[in-house]
Structure 1
Amino acid sequence: MILRKLRDITTIGFALFAMFFGAGNLLLPPFIGLQIGDHVWITILAFGLTGILLPFLGILSVTNSGDDFNDLGHRINKNLAAILGSVIMICIGPLIALPRTAATTFEVGILPSFPNSNPVWTSILFFAITWLFSIVPSKVVDLVGNILTPFLLLVLVILIGMGIANPIAEPQTDILSAPEAFTLGFIEGYQTLDVLASVIFAGIIISATKAKGYERIREKNKVVIASGALAAACLFFIYGGLVYLGATSDIENTDLTRSALLIHISNSILGQYGTLAIAISIALACLTTAIALTTAVGTFFSNLTNGKLGYRLLVTISCIISGILSVTGVDNIIQFAYPPLAFVYPIVITLVLYIVIFGRFVKTKLPYILALIASTIIATLNVMKILGILHTDSLTWFNHIPFFAYELGWVVPSFVFFVIGFGVDRMKTNKH
C-alpha cells in the first residue's frame, strides 16, 4: 500500500512538474542569470516565489476549496470562476503559452541543426502531435509522468550538474543591486505563467488522483500536496541551476536572444552533444506543457458552455490559433505577454493567497471581493504605467503606494481592503 502510494505520488508529481516546466521555464532563468551578476541566490529566491511557491499555493487553494477552479471561484462569487477562468485559459492557452511552446521548440530544438528550416512546418508538426495526445485526456497524466518527464529531468540534471562542477566563468559583479536583482527575479517569474496554470492544472491532478483510488478527501489532499511538493522540489533545483548557468555563461551581450543564450550554454558545457541534448529536452518540455494546456483549454471551455462547444472542436481551434501565433517568435511573444500578465497575475495571486491564508477562518465573501477589487485597480494602474499612459506627475503620485515602483503595489491595498471587508462583516454580525 505504501509503495503504491509512493509510486502514484511520484508519477503525479513528475506529471505536474512537466506540465509546469515548459518553454518559458527553460528560457527565462538563464536570461535572468545573465543580468544579475553575483546576486544568484537572492534572484533564485525571488524567482522561486512567483515560479514555485505561488503555483504550489495555487494547487493548495483549489484542493482546500474542492476539486477544480470552479470550486475556488465560487467561494468568492458565482461569476468569478467563469470570468477569471476564461481570462486565465486564454493567457495560458492560445494567446501566450501555447504559441510560445512551439516557437521555442523551433528556435532551440530545430533551427540550430537546420538553419534553413521554416517555422511554419515545425508549428504544423508540433501542434499535430499535441492534438493527437490531447484528444484522449485521460492518458495525459500517466503518459507525461511515466515516459516523457524522466528523460527531460535526466538531460537537465546532467547539464546543470556539469555546469556547476565546471562553470564556464565566474559571475560578473556590479551589474544590478541586490534589490534590483530581487525585483527582476520576482517579475520575470510572471512569465512562467505557472500561478495561472496551477489553479487550472490542480483540477487535472485532483482528477488523476481520484482515478487512482484516492476518493476520501483527506487521503486525496495528502497525495495532491505530496505530489505538488515533489514537483516544487524538482522545479527549485532546475530553476536555481539554470539561473546559475546564466550568471556564469561568460556572455556580456545582454541583447542576446533567450534561445541563443541557452544554446551557447549547452554547447559550452556539453560540447558537440549540447545542441542535440538541449533540442530533445526543449521538445519534451514544450510538448508536455502543450498537451497539458490544450487539454485544460478544451475541458474548461467545454464545461463552461455545458457541452455546446465540444471538447475536440475546442482542442482543434486552440491548436490552429496557437500554430498561427507561434511563427512570430519567442521574444516577440514574451514582449507582447508582459502587459496582460502584469494585469491578471496580481488578481490571481490575491485570490490564491487569501484563500490559503484566511480561507479556514473567514467564510464570508465580502473581504475577498474587496481585496480582489483593490488588486484589480492597482493592476490596471500598473499596466497603464507599463504602456506609458500615466504621465510623470501621475506616476510620481502612484509611486507613493507601497511597492508600486517594484510592481507589487497590489499587496498593501488588497490587505487593507480585505480588513475593511472583514470589519464590515463583523459589524453586521454584531448588529444581528
Structure 2
Amino acid sequence: MKKAIDIGTVGFALFAMFFGAGNLLLPPFIGLQIGGHIWITILAFGLTGILLPFFGILSVAQSGDTFDDLGHRVNKRLATILGTVIMICIGPLIALPRTAATTYEVGILPSFPNSSPVWTSIAFFVITWLFSIVPSKVVDLVGRVLTPLLLVVLILLIAIGIINPVAAPATNSLSAMDAFTVGLTEGYQTLDVLASVIFAGIIITAIKAKGYGSTIEKNKIVIAAGALAAICLLLIYGGLIYLGATSGIEETTIKRSELLIYISHTTLGRYGTFAIAIGIALACLTTAIALTCAVGTFFNNLSNGKISYKLLVTLSCLVSGVLSITGVDNIIQFAYPPLAFVYPIVITLVLYVVFFGRWVKSKRPYIAALVASTAVAFFNVLKILGLLTLPQLDTLNNIPFFQYDLGWVAPSFFAFMLFACLERLRTAK
C-alpha cells in the first residue's frame, strides 16, 4: 500500500512539474492548425512532449542520481556547459517568465481587463519564492495537494468539450506528414526534455528519502511513476489538441491565450473563464516552483555552495518577473531558435544513454554523436533564421529528415556506431 501511495505521489508530482504554461497553451493551438490529422499529431506531440521526457528521467536514473552523473557519461566539462544552458533555458530566460505571463493573459486579464502584468508578476513570483525556499517539501506539496486540483479542472474541460464539440475538425492543405512535423517541433516548446534531466534529481532524491535506496528499487519507482505521469499527460494533451481542432476558429493567427479562453468559454459557459483561471494558476505555479528549485539547486552545487541557494532562488524570481511582462507570444517566438539548437543535443544524449548505456561504456561514441547533432542543429537554426541561401538549403535537404527538423537523427547515429565499432576494434587489439 505504501509503495502504491509513493508511486502516486511521485507520479502526480512529475505530471505537475512538466505540465506548465506551454503544455496548456500549445496543444489547442496545434489542434487549430492540423485540421483532421488529430491522431497523428497527438502521436508526434507525444514523442517530444511525453516519451522523450520519460527517457530523460530514465537516463539520469540509469546513470546515477543527478544530471551531473548523466553528463559525466560523456565529459565533465560538457556536462557543466550543457547543464548551464539547460538551466538558463528552463529557468529565467524562457520557461519561468512564460508561466507568469500565461497566468496573467489567461487567468487574470479576462476577468480584470485593466489590470497590469507587473502586479501579477510580482504576486506570482512572491508565491513561487515562498514555496521554493524549502525544496524538501516540493514533491509532496505538488503531488498530494496541487496536482489533484489541477487534474479535476482539466478533465472537466476536456470531457465536456469531447461530449459536446463546438464544430467538426476543419479541413486544410496540410498533409499527414506536415501535421506530424507540426506536432513534433511544437513539442520542443514544452521544454520538457530539458526539464526532465534536471527534474530527475529532485524526483530521485524524493524517492530515496522515502526509503528506496537500492538502484533496482529506485529504478522501479522511477519507471512506475513516470508511466503514471505519461498516461496523465497523454490524456490531457490529446484532449486539448482535440478541443483546438474542434473549436470552430478559422483564424490561425489568434493568440494562444485567446484561443484557450475562447475554448473554455464555449465549453464551460459563463464559468469557463473562472475554471481556466484556476487551471492556469495551478499549472503554472506548480511548474514555476519546480523550476525555481531546480535552478537554485543546480547553480548552488555548481558553485560548490559559494552562492547560496536562497540568493539564487531570489535572483531567478527577479529576472523571470521582469521578462514575463513581455507577453507569452513574444517569449515563445524568441524561444524557438535556441530550443531548436539545444533540443537535438539533449535528445541525443538521453536516447543513446538509455538504449546503449549498458553496452557501450566508452565516452568517444557519445561525444561523436553529440558533435554530429550539434553541427546539424547549428545549420537548422540558420535555416530557421533565414540565413541560408537556396543552394545551401538544397544541399542540407539531402540529409535524411532535415526538412522535418530531424536532420540530426541519421548523422548522430552514424557517428555513434562508427566510433563504437572503432572502440571495439581498438579494445580487441
TM-score by length of 2: 0.99
Match of 2:196 in 1: 198
Please report how far the alpha carbon of residue 175 of structure 1 lies from its aligned counterpart in structure 2 after TM superposition: 3.7
2:203 and 2:356 map into 1 onto residues whose CA distance is 24
Q: Which amino acid aligns with 1:228?
A: G
1:216 and 1:210 map into 2 onto residues whose CA distance is 8
Deviations 1:311-357 (A, max 9, x none): 00100000000000000000000000000000000000000000001
1:336 and 1:172 map into 2 onto residues whose CA distance is 29
2:231 and 2:314 map into 1 onto residues whose CA distance is 34
2:221 and 2:428 map into 1 onto residues whose CA distance is 41
Q: Which amino acid aligns with 1:19?
A: M
Question: What root-mean-square deviation, in Å, do the aligned CA atoms of Structure 1 and Structure 2 show?
Answer: 0.6
Q: Which amino acid aligns with 1:385?
A: K
1:50 and 1:216 map into 2 onto residues whose CA distance is 30
Matches within 5 A, 1:107-186: 107-186=105-184
Match of 1:369 in 2: 367
Match of 1:412 among 398, 410, 427: 410
* Deviation larger for 10-19 or 212-221: 212-221
1:430 and 1:154 map into 2 onto residues whose CA distance is 59
Please report how far the alpha carbon of residue 420 of structure 1 lies from its aligned counterpart in structure 2 after TM superposition: 1.2
1:35–1:175 CA contact under 8 A, matched in 2: no
Matches within 5 A, 1:315-326: 315-326=313-324
User: Are residues 1:293 and 2:291 paired?
Assistant: yes
Match of 1:29 in 2: 27
State how many pairs are aligned: 429
Match of 2:54 in 1: 56
Match of 2:340 in 1: 342
2:374 and 2:246 map into 1 onto residues whose CA distance is 39
Deviations 1:352-406 (A, max 9, x none): 0000010011111111000000000000000111111111111111111111111
Match of 2:309 in 1: 311
Match of 2:208 in 1: 210
Deviations 1:20-66 (A, max 9, x none): 00000000000000000000000000000000000000001001000
User: Are residues 1:272 and 2:270 paired?
Assistant: yes
2:290 and 2:173 map into 1 onto residues whose CA distance is 38
Please report how far the alpha carbon of residue 217 of structure 1 lies from its aligned counterpart in structure 2 after TM superposition: 1.4
Deviations 1:117-156 (A, max 9, x none): 0000000000000001000000101110111000100000
1:157 and 1:118 map into 2 onto residues whose CA distance is 30
2:15 and 2:417 map into 1 onto residues whose CA distance is 35
1:143 and 1:425 map into 2 onto residues whose CA distance is 47
Match of 2:245 in 1: 247
Q: Which amino acid aligns with 2:336?
A: Y
1:72 and 1:14 map into 2 onto residues whose CA distance is 24
SS of residue in 2 equivalent to 1:76: coil
Please report how far the alpha carbon of residue 211 of structure 1 lies from its aligned counterpart in structure 2 after TM superposition: 0.7
1:227 and 1:113 map into 2 onto residues whose CA distance is 37
Deviations 1:252-271 (A, max 9, x none): 00110000000000000100
1:429 and 1:98 map into 2 onto residues whose CA distance is 47
1:232 and 1:175 map into 2 onto residues whose CA distance is 31
1:174 and 1:262 map into 2 onto residues whose CA distance is 21
Q: Which amino acid aligns with 1:145?
A: G
2:355 and 2:32 map into 1 onto residues whose CA distance is 35
Deviations 1:200-255 (A, max 9, x none): 00110000001111111111111111111100000000000000000000000011
> Please, which runs of 5 or more residues in structure 1 have no aligned partner?
none
* Deviation larger for 228-237 or 168-177: 168-177
1:15–1:149 CA contact under 8 A, matched in 2: yes
Q: Which amino acid aligns with 1:101?
A: T
Please report how far the alpha carbon of residue 430 of structure 1 lies from its aligned counterpart in structure 2 after TM superposition: 2.1
User: Are residues 1:106 and 2:104 paired?
Assistant: yes
Please report how far the alpha carbon of residue 173 of structure 1 lies from its aligned counterpart in structure 2 after TM superposition: 1.7
SS of residue in 1 equivalent to 2:372: helix
Identity in percent: 74
Q: Which amino acid aligns with 2:75?
A: N
Q: Which amino acid aligns with 1:143?
A: L
Match of 1:221 among 214, 219, 222: 219
Deviations 1:78-126 (A, max 9, x none): 1122110000000000000000000000000000000000000000000
SS of residue in 2 equivalent to 1:45: helix
SS of residue in 2 equivalent to 1:79: helix
> Please, which runs of 5 or more residues in structure 2 have no aligned partner?
none
Please report how far the alpha carbon of residue 194 of structure 1 lies from its aligned counterpart in structure 2 after TM superposition: 0.2
Match of 1:189 in 2: 187
Deviation >3 Å, runs of 4+: none
User: Are residues 1:389 and 2:349 paired?
Assistant: no
SS of residue in 1 equivalent to 2:323: helix
Please report how far the alpha carbon of residue 174 of structure 1 lies from its aligned counterpart in structure 2 after TM superposition: 3.0
Q: Which amino acid aligns with 1:193?
A: L
